[in-house]
Each structure stands twice: as structure tokens, then as C-alpha cells.
Amino acid sequence: MPEKKRDELVQIDYTPPQRDWMDPAIDFEARKGTWSYPAAAKNLRYLGLPNPRDWSPTDADWQLPENWQQIIHDGLAERLTKFRSLKLFLDVCVRCGACADKCHFYLGSGDPKNMPVLRAELLRSVYRNDFTTAGKILGRVAGARPLTPAILKEWYYYFYQCTECRRCSVFCPYGIDTAEITMLARELLNLVGLNINWVIEPVANCDRTGNHLGIQPHTFKDNIEFLVDELEEVTGIRVDPSIDRKGAELLFVVPSADYFAEPGIYTFMGYLLLLHSLGVDYTLSAYASEGGNFGLFTSNEMMKRLNYKIYHEARRLGVKWILGGECGHMWRVINQYMDTMNGPADFLEAPVSPITGTAFTNAASTKMVHICEFTADLIKHGKLKLDPSRNDHLRVTFHDSCNPARAMGILEEPRYILKSVVNNFFEMPENTIREQTFCCGGGAGLGNDENMEMRLRGGLPRANAVRFVHEKHGVNRLACICAIDRAVLTTLMEYWVPEVDVSGVHELLANALVIEGEKARTTDLRGKPLAGGKGDADA
């Protein structure tokens, strides 16, 4: 927790400073708690990324390569031809300001450079200077700035203070997407060795061991066995997930946090119970043991490199199609990048539910289905016996995670599941859900402890909406379909709305799932007693 108290943190001054934004000045020392530590040299070396060294943003000298300005200039030139999005977004912004108060970091900090328009101007001003006629002739009058070390430091600060949530893009009349600007700005920063460890270490881990957390195969198996035991404890059912089994019908890929720590583990237990109860023929993989992809927060090349494993493993194991767990940015990668990068997946079959026979035509090419799509279809076809009263000790709301909402649009499936498995469901206010949902404040690699003050600030609008339904409806559970959310929102709730816990959708599903041969349930998956001492109401 940061030193600042809640009351102090909400004293937010939105008055812009006197100083012109074009004159950069970031005092990293004074702003501790709002930035992330740089990547450790060993991780950059492992990945073969440029300029590995030990340094701190508080250093005066960031030990950049000698020709860093040229590297960035050339990198930008290359990306302007590779990405129409970048070129267009740098050209067409009219600074109408519609995006300004849409960013959770701006709302939570009042720092004008967190307005999406200004975040982009940090890069745009340099683009104008180097690449536009007006900028070359008129310089500062045309809003152009030559890239200086001070500006580069500002890039580091603000492009690692954007969670790539795309909320601003919803409101922009031209669809300018700050996530795209940030992603490409981070690519440029990576060229000169400016990256954060909380992104790069998971990337290095994932490349080597198969998952962000660096869990090696034997530990992977141990963790899963532990969760199988836990699940048996609560339900009396012993599930038997297989690992690296060739010939299974489905490969099931989940974010690694789901088999590592609370509260994600309960979601994982939920998946296993569901798949077991239906006898689905699936396997987990110790090699492709990560659904998430922190390459998304590094560069398109790194995203492709990490994502490679999923199809590679599906081909090796000879499965028919791939099922994916609840994770936010993972689904941005799967929905918008995977097939393009590592497809075509012509060695797989178009996904069909083995239980209902439903063809998932929307995944006909990528051959990967979201578990909420899979489960919603099961419930619709009456394949699950559910006792929502087992969740009566919970009053639930749903947080749309940024990427599933704004880079995919999976809005109804999780709601349909929730409404089938809980009796008390309440929506947060409409400006804070669905495509207008607010970020948890810790996405895109910013969910680390040294960045805590900024996380709590960025998460304030989300926490506010949760507090609203907590006070109005007594909500005590925040459901979501994102592993980063489950970790970050838990901390956020502890700070802003301590009465509310966080969970995945499939945890709540498993609470309600009635299975033949199970013991009378007296607790939920977390071991918390059920409401009114009831357990097996109509089982």
C-alpha cells in the first residue's frame, strides 16, 4: 500500500500547470510510486533485446546507445510504413478533447499528459519534427519538437503509464487508439533498451519455461495436483486433468496466474470441475502453459514469438481445436493477432462443441474458442444442472475486462453464465461497463508493486463504480474474465472497497454446478460457508 491515505489520494487537481506541455520535466525521484522498474539486464540478454544494462530512471544518464536518436528516427520511419494505424493516428487528430476525461489515469491523477490526446502528442510532436513539411519548416509553431533526452524520459514515463485499454478509442471521432500509439511507442523504446521488468521478465520466463511466472513443468504438474486435491476437498469429486496427452480432442490453454495464486486458482478449479463433469476429452500443456502474452506489451515480434507455442503445441498433440480460459489481453491476442501471426491453423478442425454439437462458426479459422462461449452454449442447451442458491452468500457484479470488451466484444456470454449461476446479480452504472468499462489500472504490464500509487489512482474510477453497487445493493463479489484483473482488482478492492472480493466467472459456475456423485456442499470453492447452512438444496 502506498504511504498516501485514501482521502489524500482523492484530492485530485485537474488544473493544468502553467508550464507549456512541450517543455518536458519528469522528476522520477519525486514521482516514486508512479513508475515501474526497468528490465533487468539478464532478461534482455536472454531474449536478445538491445542494450542490456543495470540502470534506474532516477539516474541522470540512462546509458543509451550512442546513436539513439537515429535508432528511434529510423524505427519510427519503418513503423510509419508498416502500420497505417500509426501514420493515420499521428496525422488526423484534431485535439477536440473528447478523449481527455475518458482515461482512468487522467481521472485518477489529474496529470494532463495522461489525457490520451497529450499522450499521443508526446510522440506526434517528434513525428511532426522529423516527418512533416510543416514541422520541418515551422518547428515549435507547428507543434514540432526535436527528440531530446528529456522527451525520451517523458516517453518512458507516460508510455509505461498507459494500460492499452482502448477506452479513449471508443469516443474518438476517428477511432484513434492510444493502445496502438502506446504499443508502437513501446516498440521504439525497446529499440534503445527502455523497458520495464514487469513486462520483460514474464516475457523471458514465458519464452523459456512456457509461462509468465517461470513455472517449470514439474511444478506445473504439482500445482495442478494440489488444486485437484483442494477441489476434491470441497466437492468430493476427484477430477483427473491430463498434461501433454497426445490425441486429446481439445487443448486447453489458460493464463498461468490461474494455476498459481488466489483468487485465480478458484477459477481454474471451476474450469476443471466443469470439463470433468461433462467428460470433455481435453489436455493441458506444460509447454504451452500460458494463455497470456506479455509480448503484446513489448513488440509485435515478441507477441508472435510467444504466441507461436499454442499452435505449435496443438499440432504436436494432434488435438482438434483449442479452448481458452478467462484472460483479458490473451483474448486480444487470440482474437486480433494469433491467426494472422501464426496461422493458418489448417491442421486443426473448425471447433464444434463435443457436448452440444454447436459449431463455433465465429472461430472457424482461428480454431480457438473462449470458455465463456463454450459454457454459455452448454447452459443454453440445458447441459448443466445448476443450483444458483449455492451462491446466495454472494451479491455479484461484473467487470468487463478491457480487451474482451473493446478488442473482441464478449459482453453477453459471461453475463448469461453469471445470471444462470447466481441469484443476486447487479450491473454497475452504464458509463462504466461494456464498451465503456474502466480499466483495473494494472494492465499492459503495470500491475507491479513499485507502481502502486498509479495503479490505485488509475483504478479509482473502476473502484468507484464498485463502491456504488456495494453501497446500493450490498455487492460483495466482483466477477471478471481476466487473470490480471483477478490479481490487480483484488489489491484495488482491498484499498478502495475492502468489503468486495474478486473472482472469475467459472469459480461461481463451479459453486453452482450440481454433479452426480458429489458430496453435499457446505462451502463454496474458497471454503466459505454457504448461505443459510444450505448446501445441497435440490441436488
Partner 1 sequence: MRVVWSLLLVGVLALIAFFGAQAGGQALFGIVLPYLAMAVFLVGVAARVVGWARSTVPFRIPTTCGQERSLPWIKPASLDNPSTGLGAAARVLLEVFTFRSLFRNNRSELREGGRFTFSADKWLWAAALAFHYSFLVVFLRHYRFFAEPVPAVVAWIQGLDGFFQVGLPVVYVSDIVLVAALGYLLWRRLADARLRYISLHADYFPLALILGVALSGVLLRYFSKADIVAVKELAIGLVSFHPAVPKGIDPLVFVHIFLVSVLLTYFPFSKLVHMAGVFLSPTRNLANNNRMHRHVNPWNPPIVGHTYAEWEQEFHDKLVASGIPLDKE
CB 281 within 8 A of CB 354: yes
Quick one: which of 6, 53, 238, 385 contacts partner 1 (CB under 8 A)?
6
Task: State which of positions 186-215 bind partner 1 (CB under 8 A).
Answer: 207-210
For residues 393 and 451, give the distance between their C-alpha atoms in angstroms, rounded to a whole number: 34
Contact letters (x/-) for partner 1, 470-509, by CB under 8 A?
----------------------------------------
Nearer to partner 1, 9 or 531 (CB): 9
Contact between 247 and partner 1 per CB under 8 A: no
Smallest separation, CB 418 to partner 1 (Å): 14
Nearer to partner 1, 169 or 182 (CB): 169
Helices (H), 210-319: 217-235, 264-278, 300-317
Task: State which of positions 435-464 bind partner 1 (CB under 8 A).
Answer: 435-436, 460-461, 464
Contact between 176 and partner 1 per CB under 8 A: yes
Smallest separation, CB 462 to partner 1 (Å): 10
Nearer to partner 1, 34 or 169 (CB): 169
Task: State which of positions 290-319 bind partner 1 (CB under 8 A).
Answer: 300-301, 304-309, 312-313, 316
For residues 515 and 524, give the distance between their C-alpha atoms in angstroms, rounded to a whole number: 14
**Sign, Cα dihedral of 172, 179, 80, 305:** negative
Contact between 410 and partner 1 per CB under 8 A: yes
CB 33 within 8 A of CB 451: yes
DSSP codes, 105-130: HHHHH--GGGSHHHHHHHHHHHHHHH
Beta bridge partners of 503: 479
CA nearest neighbour of 189 among 158, 212, 167: 158
Helices (H), 132-282: 133-138, 149-159, 167-171, 178-191, 197-209, 217-235, 264-278
Quick one: which of 111, 130, 180, 507 contacts partner 1 (CB under 8 A)?
180
How many C-beta atoms surround the C-beta of residue 472 within 10 A?
A: 11
Nearer to partner 1, 244 or 392 (CB): 244
Contact region for partner 1 (CB under 8 A) — 154-162, 273-281, 328-336, 512-520?
A: 328-336
Contact between 69 and partner 1 per CB under 8 A: no
Beta bridge partners of 251: 283, 322
- Please report, for residues 92, 171, 180, 181, 297, the alpha-carbon distance to residue 85 in angstroms, rounded to integers and kept in the order given: 11, 17, 7, 9, 17
Contact region for partner 1 (CB under 8 A) — 24-32, 354-362, 390-398, 473-481?
A: 354-362
Smallest separation, CB 478 to partner 1 (Å): 17
Contact between 153 and partner 1 per CB under 8 A: no
Contact between 424 and partner 1 per CB under 8 A: no
Contact letters (x/-) for partner 1, 83-122, by CB under 8 A?
xxxxxxx-xxxxxxxx-xxx----x----x--x-xx--x-
DSSP codes, 40-95: PHHHHHHHT-S------TTSS-----TTHHHHHHHHHHHHHHH-HHHHHHHHH---
What SS3 class is residue 232?
helix
Smallest separation, CB 236 to partner 1 (Å): 25
Quick one: which of 73, 343, 494, 536 contacts partner 1 (CB under 8 A)?
343
Contacts of residue 306, Cβ cutoff 8 Å, sequence gap at least 6: 203, 206, 207, 290, 293, 294, 295
Cis peptide before 16 (omega within 30 of 0): no
Contact region for partner 1 (CB under 8 A) — 9-17, 148-156, 185-193, 194-202?
A: 9-17
Smallest separation, CB 387 to partner 1 (Å): 23
Contact region for partner 1 (CB under 8 A) — 55-63, 368-376, 382-390, 502-510?
A: 368-376
For residues 539 and 532, give the distance between their C-alpha atoms in angstroms, rounded to a whole number: 16
Smallest separation, CB 129 to partner 1 (Å): 13
Smallest separation, CB 113 to partner 1 (Å): 10
Contact between 383 and partner 1 per CB under 8 A: no
Smallest separation, CB 163 to partner 1 (Å): 15
Quick one: which of 42, 45, 53, 82 contacts partner 1 (CB under 8 A)?
82
CB 332 within 8 A of CB 370: no
Instruction: List the strands of the sheet with 282-284, edge to edge.
Output: 242-243, 282-284, 250-253, 321-324, 368-370
CA nearest neighbour of 389 among 500, 520, 536, 235: 536
Contact between 245 and partner 1 per CB under 8 A: yes
Nearer to partner 1, 180 or 326 (CB): 180
Smallest separation, CB 532 to partner 1 (Å): 34
Contact between 48 and partner 1 per CB under 8 A: no
How many of the chain's residues bind partner 1 (CB under 8 A)? Answer: 122
Quick one: which of 149, 249, 365, 518 contacts partner 1 (CB under 8 A)?
365
Contact between 361 and partner 1 per CB under 8 A: yes
CB 195 within 8 A of CB 49: yes
Smallest separation, CB 524 to partner 1 (Å): 28
Contact region for partner 1 (CB under 8 A) — 132-140, 186-194, 389-397, 418-426?
A: 132-140
Contact between 287 and partner 1 per CB under 8 A: yes
What SS3 class is residue 250?
strand
Smallest separation, CB 118 to partner 1 (Å): 6
Strands 321-324 and 368-370 come out as parallel
CA nearest neighbour of 249 among 281, 210, 226: 281
